[in-house]
């Protein structure tokens, strides 16, 4: 029994020392390259992985001012990420015809690999109407 307790304590200590791992990137166009290849060990107080998704026109000039997804990811405190999530709720429309910004929060190693860039229910609804 004492061996099991010892192993449990070692496991808990190892996990708390190593902390959470999150994907990190800043203002990357699309969820690829650095956003799915770069991982950071979070600080002890950071208990969530956060993603910020922007759908907007690029800073440089483009012929039709086509919008693009810009992704930022990193470590955060769950409370701070949740605050950002609710703060952006009014502009988090995920539609194609206007700029929007959305935040996503998760807890677990590398849980922020994927991001939601559109709402599929709109596509399904349009398909059902036709």
| Strand-strand pairing, 100-106 and 48-56 | antiparallel
Q: What is the CATH number of the domain that holds 78?
A: 2.10.60.10
CA dist 26 and 16 (Å) reads 27
> pLDDT (tens digit, 9 = 90+) per residue, 68-78?
999 999 999 99
Domain residue limits at 88: 19-129
- The residue-averaged pLDDT of 18-45 equals 95
Tell me, yes or no, whether 5 lies in a domain.
no
Tell me, yes or no, whether 14 lies in a domain.
no
How high is the pLDDT of residue 120?
59
pTM score of the predicted model? 0.76
């Amino acid at each position: 029994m004492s061996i099991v307790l010892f192993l449990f304590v070692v496991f808990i200590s190892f996990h708390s020392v190593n902390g959470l791992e999150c994907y990190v990137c800043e203002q990357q166009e699309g969820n690829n390259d650095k956003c799915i290849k770069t991982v950071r060990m979070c600080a002890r107080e950071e208990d969530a992985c956060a993603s910020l998704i922007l759908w907007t026109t690029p800073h440089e000039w483009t012929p039709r001012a086509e919008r693009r997804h810009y992704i930022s990811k990193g470590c955060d405190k769950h409370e701070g990420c949740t605050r950002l999530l609710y703060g952006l709720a009014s502009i988090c429309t995920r539609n194609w015809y206007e700029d929007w910004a959305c935040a996503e929060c998760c807890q677990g190693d590398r849980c922020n690999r994927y991001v939601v860039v559109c709402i599929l229910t709109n596509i399904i609804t349009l398909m059902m109407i036709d």
